[in-house]
Structure 1
């Protein structure tokens, strides 16, 4: 029997957790048919991001695939998301993964965070920036809440990954929205404030790793 510790306190039933997980597996299998291995991409990003000094902030929780795996590797994570429906799905996924009690879910706008300056040791995000407008406001806020010697890791699809997402959405009669944010824009921003930046590509992702200089 699965142990969903803390789930009842969060208002999550075992049936809801299991049904949600079944939907997640089906969706990830659908992605795989188009050539996108969600699990492999997450593991690649984590390999590049770790180690992460705490406290750790993830912005844009989404459905929680990334934060559930991240929480298994670090003591605690705070995850922010504006969409309460998405965040509930993330809580269900975290409960199934057995890491719900290691994640603090916060409803917040990444451009207007409530934490004081220099609060977090690390900030991470995956497959989010292509939805963000304006980018500069979010980046400035993330830097504000990160220690001067901290790390900000931002990963998003590479061009092949975006092409796959376009095909997936088109197959369902929709379109995959994408802002004007580019890797070059991220690199330019962080280098402009004196941070060290490196980029790594793989598993249909481009990972930008920015490190502050105390």
Structure 2
């Protein structure tokens, strides 16, 4: 990734950096571990503040990124920066009903999203429905250390703790094992990542 193009940081990124953590470095580590094919686009779900798309675009990938609405689009564009927006296509979508055909997407990335979902199981079913099994799918979420660190940040900023969601990483792994040929795990300080290759058909 080009070091001369620094990705703008959120307040959360700044606080994490002061504590010795860097989500951008973790995203970079997991994406490099995945080693996606540069010839195919990557579907990034969900856009959020654009952290994953910022890293992917700087690595040279073409990205389709989607979220429930466009509320964060302006913020994510600032983070991606004008130089890399030509590599990004923004779409509005609901992860419970993703507007792609069955088996039509080779490469998918879903980082720090599962814990935010109201119905994570339904969303995972949708991910496997659209995933072709020909490329790779990288799913990652905060591990226990990550959630504990985020709790401290949320207590400082909002007076409450960070949502842990409805599906922990052990439950997530069981679901992935039931749908995938190969799963490789990568551990970071704040995240547990699962790289899926191939899929099992019902």
Q: TM above 0.5, one fold? A: yes
Which digits, 9 at most, give the CA deviation of each residue in 1:110-157, with x for residues without a partner?
111111112111100111111123211111111111113232111111
Aligned residue number for residue 113 of structure 2: 128
Structure 1 consecutive aligned stretches of length 4 or more whose deviation exceeds 6 Å = none
Equivalent residue in structure 1 for 2:127, among 134, 142, 162: 142
The CA deviation at 1:200 is 1.4
The CA deviation at 1:188 is 1.5
Partner Cα distance (2:181, 2:30) in 1: 20
Contact 1:91 1:100 in 2 (8 A): yes
Aligned residue number for residue 166 of structure 1: 151
Partner Cα distance (2:196, 2:7) in 1: 36
Contact 2:179 2:199 in 1 (8 A): no
Say whether 1:117 aligns with 2:102.
yes
Q: State the TM-score, normalized to the length of structure 1.
A: 0.81
Equivalent residue in structure 2 for 1:186, among 172, 188, 192: 172
Cα 1:49–1:22, aligned 2, differ >3 Å: closer, same or farther? Answer: closer
Which residues of structure 1 form unaligned runs of 5+? 1-20
The CA deviation at 1:213 is 4.9
- The CA RMSD over aligned residues, in Å, is 2.2
Say whether 1:155 aligns with 2:148.
no
Say whether 1:202 aligns with 2:188.
yes
Q: How does 1:67-86 map to 2 (within 5 A)?
A: 67-86=53-72
Q: State the TM-score, normalized to the length of structure 2.
A: 0.86
Which residues of structure 2 form unaligned runs of 5+? 1-5
DSSP 3-state at the match of 1:174: coil
Contact 2:62 2:87 in 1 (8 A): yes
Task: Report which of the two structures shows the higher radius of gyration computed on alpha carbons.
Answer: 1
Cα 1:23–1:104, aligned 2, differ >3 Å: closer, same or farther? Answer: closer
